[in-house]
């Protein structure tokens, strides 16, 4: 399987999206700016943020600097952001998205996602995304943290099919049913927290693959993502780790090794939410923007 840092997938509306990029969750504005600059200087062409992360302005600053420093154009970078839970609803999503564009210092994003399926609001939010898409302010639209029931709801009531569903995805949490549904409906699955917020790195079973291929456990996992056809966006605020995460294109896992890692799945989510428990629960989704001190 021939892959490179420039490898792209073709979304269901024909837009090409890099399969590998940088995530900036739990990153301050200062660190987000620096991480974006390091990533782009080292060949990354996809950046993923969200209003929830409280660092869109840092990402915008880093993006502007990196484009200038590396003689690139805005069109060379694939930028993703997400509609914040507190902004959901048709009018609110459209109005507040303008502020997101301003913070990011761009006229459009390449991918806009509904961050969480907030009960009684996500269908109206999806209508807002369809409007934003038709106005050319997002090249593609999608969803994040949607289970099959809510994906079916979007497909039934929406006029545009989501291009991406971004989910927690790592060797211990592979969301098999959701991935199968996405595959059947030509929706790409994108992995947030591909390393399980670091917890999966301690799984001793993965060390044998790191030894076999002379790579780190993180590099094995990220390569496994790509060979599974998953879009992956590992996060780091360290330049050496950003470089190391991208050093995954000079080896290939065997089919047998990919299958063995597939068998590690126990649907164990590493992050705060349970089994889609937040639906209908006012305490089940976050209603304030995160802020990491600079």
Where in the sequence numbering do the catalytic residues fall?
53
Q: Quick one: three-class SS letters along 249-278?
A: CCCCCCHHHHHHHHCCCCCCCCCCCCCCCC
Q: Which two tokens stand for residue 63?
A: 């993006």
Q: How far apart are the first and last CA of the chain?
A: 41
Cα–Cα distance measured from residue 191 to residue 170, given in angstroms and rounded to the nearest whole number: 7
How is the beta sheet containing 231-232 ordered, strand by strand?
22-23, 46-48, 78-83, 111-114, 141-144, 164-168, 188-192, 231-232
As a residue count, the chain comes to: 294
Tokens of 66: 């990196």
Nearest of 131, 193, 185 to residue 167 by alpha carbon: 193
Tokens of 264: 């590690």
How far, in Å, CA of 239 to CA of 158, rounded? 41
Quote the longest CA-to-CA distance of the chain.
54
């Amino acid at each position: 399987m021939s892959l490179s840092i420039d490898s792209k997938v073709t979304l269901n509306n024909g837009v090409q999206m890099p399969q590998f990029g940088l995530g900036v969750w739990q990153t301050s504005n200062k660190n987000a700016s620096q991480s974006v600059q390091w990533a782009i200087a080292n060949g990354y062409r996809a950046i993923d943020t969200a209003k929830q992360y409280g660092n869109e302005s840092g990402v915008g600053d880093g993006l502007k600097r990196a484009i200038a420093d590396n003689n690139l154009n805005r069109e060379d970078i694939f930028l993703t952001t997400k509609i914040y839970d507190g902004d959901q609803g048709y009018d609110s999503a459209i109005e507040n998205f303008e502020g997101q564009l301003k913070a990011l210092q761009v006229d459009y994003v390449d991918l806009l996602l509904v961050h969480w399926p907030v009960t009684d609001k996500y269908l109206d939010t999806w209508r807002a995304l369809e409007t934003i898409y038709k106005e050319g302010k997002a090249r593609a639209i999608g969803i994040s943290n949607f289970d099959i029931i809510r994906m079916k709801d979007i497909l039934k009531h929406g006029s545009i099919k989501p291009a991406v569903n971004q989910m927690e995805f790592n060797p211990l949490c592979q969301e098999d049913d959701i991935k199968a549904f996405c595959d059947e409906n030509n929706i790409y699955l994108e992995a947030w927290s591909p390393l399980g917020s670091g917890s999966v790195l301690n799984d001793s079973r993965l060390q044998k693959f790191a030894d076999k291929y002379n790579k780190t456990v993180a590099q094995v996992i990220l390569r496994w993502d790509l060979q599974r056809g998953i879009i992956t966006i590992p996060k780091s605020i360290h330049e050496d780790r950003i470089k190391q995460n991208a050093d995954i294109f000079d080896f290939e896992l065997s089919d047998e090794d990919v299958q063995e890692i597939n068998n590690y799945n126990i649907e164990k989510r590493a992050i705060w939410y349970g089994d889609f428990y937040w639906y209908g629960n006012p305490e089940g989704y976050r209603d304030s923007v995160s802020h990491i001190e600079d």
